[in-house]
Structure 1
């Protein structure tokens, strides 16, 4: 018989765990809850790292952890510090014995690992006053009179951007770790840290099993914050503030998750398939170690039966240094939707090649839809083995870049999204279908002939082959492209010279001199491009048969009013005269290298007939992500 356990700040861990006699800690409940049980946590602040000790057994026999209805329950990876001593001016220090941190001292641990590119001595530690995170100084002298720039460099776009929170940048800290003590210095300016809520992070995670195989767990309704999460590349252990730790069937829903030093929600791998070997050994590229990680995971049973199939929904995720959601291999067959993700990697205290609001590798059959992603260094980055992956009905604004797809052979589908960054899309992949999107911003298209990456049997982790990215094999239908002053390569003109059918491609290959593989390297893969709109300088593919090209500036804007978000756009006369059909498995050509169709994860035909607002189209409709778009001025609520 299923048991309901209760946890309260007025409880005791030697109690029964009933509503009348609750436990004091969530971990006590986690030590006894088994399949089918529910843990209800009541009002209060719980400073602990919750480590579930037992798995659920199926979707119907889960272990559920949830905040009591109407109660604010906060799980923190930090501790409050009230022993600050003033040293000079507005600088204070706290001296703590190293035993205070146990076997993990964030003020000693540096941002470290594969693909960390720029880390000027930053650590995993953090200082917070009244919930606001400080910035780490490079030296003790730097905290006395901190310099606050008005602009910083965005590494992705190689441009200067305004400082995210100029007022907060003057709050800085510096740490020194000795043999027996850790000293944290901080400039509190007008605050007395002993009179305010002053905290430092001490725990790696807030809700993360310390062993794998903790399947079918639901985590619902909590606020979780201030964890000293480490850098999470695809070739290393990937602990997050919360995550399943190489398990199956988690549901993470209706939570507020913030202030992870690196990654908030992790759906990633563990260290048994590789742990920063490139950084530690430096004998071959990280790319090679990542290939080895994929094969090693396969030997250890990486499959739909053992890992993945998670649901991440209705969460608010913000103020994290690396990722809102991260995952390699363990994110397969998952669904990520209705999340609000913002302020990811905008402090720019460190930088590397694994940063985004959502950063996934090998997201086989993973569905990412209806998310609101803004004010991030990069919105969504999908890397390696995109097969059956779908990015649908998401809103992107005020990001430095919106979407990056990399070294994959498809099929993957990007439909009914709004992209508005000056740098809207990086396409370093092949085999993608882009349908009914608004794309306002620069589009980068690159081949990757020096990195052969895996592709799979359809709807499976079984490896089928390896291929470099030749460029092309893409589909662009029913999109609205919008240029702007100073923006280059907006539209589909960068496919100039590409073939337009598999038959043409095969003919050209077999009329090339030389061996077969050399011919395949020089003939451009087919692209399928039709019925798109190009505005304000956006340029079409030279062989597109039916489109609308206009110099009209639509003045696109995304505006916020409380928790509601609106799209404003002025579309030219004649816009409603160009209709696009509903695309599906039947209309989208199979991808060439994986020899796979565009399908739903269950293998059924995919029908791309639901717009951004959830309206189902029963036939031809106007182009773009919203069926009610019309010529002239449009102001449409798209969130809230």
Structure 2
């Protein structure tokens, strides 16, 4: 369509840009965007008033709509071999030049490399940044690379040009689609309180995002920072140096220069509470059915602004696979303060980091029905949180299933194919809250234990031996151990979890080390579950051997009354709305036998090798 921003935005007189529509839209309006590539940064000036009066941004049905943070670049001049050069004037970038902007922030580790927020793309795929003209001129068998020289802020002439060298393997860049990222985000408001927005059906891509730590206003390709009630669904979100979807806190002076210790984040929480961190003001977002990939920090990130939200049905992969930098915030999904949040039915794989990382204040969290595999660190890390947290009906098949230094967690009806790493004691004082609230009751340290394993299936490669003893009770009940799995019970020697400080006298006075307790276990050392994943077209299948005879040993249905309360927070295991918790459905949504539920994520209907569809793209 040939739109003009002077038009009224009707079907017969369409607008040219999404931003022009955003400026006109009022609560209850729907903005339908037709096929095309929109090179703009959408900054919605207002949101809806409630769920019934949203402002909806949607791609026209059946049409491909791309909103990109990149601009095309031609006029490449060949330098040598596959390396070419272009010189861009300052006006090309306007007020933001990512080639002059270093990735930086709290908890970020540069690895002594000047990583920039910029990217260079060849036919939609990104080249790798190198750090000298010599490197970009050196022939390489790997993916193409780029190096840039841009004006140094405050030192050089702001009107000086930017020179980019890029190595394009075997192609003439003037005959291909070459783009560079120039916008720091694609779809993000610049102020808080832009509530009840829906964004659906787009390809959102190629933003020059900066590092998104929990202490700063977090900006991704798309950001719902310090707003309420966003729905982000059915999008493809891809290619950025840092974050894909950001559900974080408000922007503040001093962001990304606060420091790297626990006290800094405690101060951040105190300020957030004064700035409206509560269920009435922020959070309650839904991020569902998106395809999120090629983000180097995380696919979905949030700090406190993510509370009371749901992340479901997303395919997440190729996160932090380039390892150009490091830090403490890399995961497929990384949340701080994810109170009463739900992470369900996602497929998270091929990350160079954690699959899911729940850090501080993961109270009332449910992680259920997710498929996790081929993640280079643990599929799940729950850090310095006091529960209650429920982890149920998941398939966890990476080499490391779980990293823990938290309490008040129940693992129920999962398949585990990796080891558990458990820190014996963490002295950090972290908050716990009133149930279903952001209101902080007190701070507490983080001893190991106070964990329940109920009705799980442990297969080859799983190892929970580090829970053989802990500082708080550990309960195992109704679990199955097949060939190649390692139990916590029956070890000849106790293993202290993780790195234990030499001086533990005061800790051991406060807590008495306890042996794990197990009941109703089935140990099948000769039974090979032989679990493997296979991909056929757009479907993922789990091939696994199960045995109906396992049901001869009776098990209890997992309910609020069976699970009790998390001891430190004194909060019950229940749903976010306060209703009773019942694990009465399996991974596939089938009803469980409430009188005797099957171990693992599937209700077992037959004996032998099973081929179970566990994901459809």
Normalised by the length of structure 2, the TM-score is 0.91
Shift of 1:580: 2.9
Query: In structure 1, what is the equivalent of residue 370 of structure 2?
Result: 394
Cα displacement (A) at 1:482: 2.1
In structure 1, what is the equivalent of residue 495 of structure 2? none
Three-state SS of the structure 2 residue aligned to 1:207 is coil
Candidates 445, 449, 459, aligned match of 1:482: 459
Contact kept? 2:148, 2:162, Cα under 8 Å? yes
Q: Are 2:148 and 1:175 aligned?
A: yes
- CA displacement at 1:99 relative to structure 2: 2.5
Q: Distance in 2 between matches of 1:579 and 1:204?
A: 56
Instruction: Determine the structure 2 residue equivalent to 1:64.
Output: 56
Q: Report how far residue 536 of structure 1 moved.
A: 2.5
Instruction: Please name the residue that 1:625 is paired with.
Output: 601
1:139-191 per-residue CA deviation (whole Å, 9 max, x = no partner) reads 1111122555xxxxxxxxxxxxxxxxxxxx33000011133111111001211
Q: Given the superposition, is the C-alpha separation of residues 608 and 274 from structure 1 closer, same or farther in structure 2, using an over 3 Å criterion?
A: farther
In the alignment, does 2:225 pair up with 1:248?
Answer: no
- Give per-residue Cα distances to partners, 1:343-392, cap 9 Å, x unaligned: 11112222211001101111000011011111112211111101111000
Post-superposition shift, 1:570?
2.3
Instruction: Compute the displacement of 1:629 (Å).
Output: 6.2
Per the alignment, residue 204 of structure 1 pairs with 184
Q: Is the 8 A contact 2:460 2:529 kept in 1?
A: no
Mapped contact 1:146–1:170 kept (Cα < 8 A): no
Q: Is the 8 A contact 1:274 1:293 kept in 2?
A: no
Whether the 8 Å contact between 1:237 and 1:274 is mirrored in structure 2 is no
Answer yes or no: is the 8 Å Cα contact 1:137–1:174 preserved in 2.
Answer: yes
Please show how residues 75-94 of structure 1 align to structure 2 within 5 Å: 75-94=67-86
Correspondence 1:561 to 2:536? yes
Separation in 2, partners of 1:556, 1:320: 29
Q: Which runs of 5+ in 1 are unaligned?
A: 1-7, 149-168, 280-284, 485-489, 499-523
1:155-174 to 2 correspondences below 5 Å: 169-174=142-147
2: CA distance between counterparts of 1:480 and 1:566?
18
Q: How does 1:221-620 map to 2 (within 5 A)?
A: 221-272=201-252, 275-279=255-259, 285-377=260-352, 378-401=354-377, 402-484=379-461, 490-498=462-470, 524-542=471-489, 543-551=517-525, 552-571=527-546, 574-619=549-594, 620=596
TM-align CA RMSD: 1.5
- Give the match's secondary structure for 2:302: strand
Deviates more, 1:408-417 or 1:29-38: 29-38
Give the structure 2 partner of residue 156 of structure 1: none
Q: Secondary structure at the match of 2:48?
A: coil
Residue 210 (structure 1) shift:
1.1
1:578–1:623: 8 Å Cα contact kept in structure 2? Answer: no
Q: 1:635 aligns with which of 587, 595, 611?
A: 611
Contact 2:217–2:225 (Cα < 8 Å) also in 1: no
2:334 touches 2:357 (CA, 8 Å); kept in 1?
Answer: yes
Assess if the C-alpha contact under 8 Å between 1:554 and 1:572 holds in 2: no
1:576 Cα deviation (Å)? 3.9
Contact conserved, 1:137 with 1:173, CA < 8 A, in 2? Answer: yes
Residue 143 of structure 1 aligns with which residue? 136
Q: Distance in 2 between matches of 1:257 and 1:629?
A: 39
Q: Distance in 2 between matches of 1:101 and 1:630?
A: 63
Deviation larger for 536-545 or 130-139? 536-545
Q: Which residue of 2 aligns with 1:515?
A: none
- Hey, what's the Cα distance between the residues in 2 that align with 1:85 and 1:242? 34
- Correspondence for 2:496: none
Distance 1:491 1:578, change over 3 A: farther
Distance 1:482 1:124 in 2: 42
With over 3 angstroms needed to count, the CA separation of the structure-2 counterparts of 1:324 and 1:607, relative to structure 1, is same
Aligned with 2:106 (options 114, 126, 129)? 114
Distance 1:205 1:429 in 2: 34
CA distance in 2, matches of 1:532, 1:391: 19
Mapped partners of 2:91, 2:554: distance in 1: 67
Cα distance in 2 for partners of 1:239, 1:288 equals 23
Q: Give, in whole Å, the separation in 1 of the partners of 2:238 and 2:217.
A: 21
Aligned residues of 1:205 and 1:239 also touching (Cα < 8 A): yes
On the 8 A contact 1:622/1:629 being kept in 2, the answer is no
Matches of 2:555 and 2:233, distance apart in 1:
36
Shift of 1:481: 1.4
Secondary structure of the equivalent of 1:586? helix
How far did 1:442 drift? Answer: 1.5
Higher alpha-carbon deviation: 442-451 or 588-597: 442-451
Does residue 171 of structure 2 align to residue 191 of structure 1?
A: yes
Q: CA deviation at 1:301?
A: 1.4
- Alpha carbons 1:452, 1:469 under 8 Å: kept: yes
Q: Greater shift after overlay, 555-564 or 326-335? A: 555-564
Please say if residues 67 and 220 of structure 1, whose CA atoms lie closer than 8 Å, have aligned partners that are also in contact.
Answer: yes
CA 545–73 in structure 1, closer or farther in 2 if over 3 Å, else same: same
Cα–Cα, structure 1 residues 113 and 448, in superposed 2: closer, same or farther, change >3 Å? farther
Change in Cα spacing, 1:114 to 1:448, as seen in structure 2 (3 Å) is: farther
- The CA deviation at 1:98 is 2.0
Q: Secondary structure at the match of 1:183?
A: strand
CA distance in 2, matches of 1:129, 1:622: 50
Q: What is the CA–CA distance in structure 2 between the aligned matches of 1:40 and 1:529, rounded to whole Å?
A: 53
What's 1:132 paired with? 125
CA–CA separation in structure 2 for the residues paired with 1:497 and 1:38: 57
Could you tell me how far apart the structure 2 residues matched to 1:274 and 1:422 are? 39
Any gaps of 5 or more consecutive residues in structure 2?
152-156, 490-516
Task: Count residues in correspondence.
Answer: 577
Q: Name the SS of the counterpart of 2:571 in structure 1.
A: coil
Q: Is the 8 A contact 1:575 1:630 kept in 2?
A: no
Deviations 1:280-301 (A, max 9, x none): xxxxx42111111111100111
The offset of 1:51, in angstroms, is 0.5
Contact 1:416 1:611 (C-alpha < 8 Å) held by counterparts: yes
Specify the SS of the correspondent of 1:296: helix
Q: Counterparts of 2:148 and 2:425 in 1: how far apart (Å)? A: 42
Alpha carbons 1:492, 1:541 under 8 Å: kept: yes
Is the Cα contact below 8 Å between 1:397 and 1:558 reproduced in 2?
no
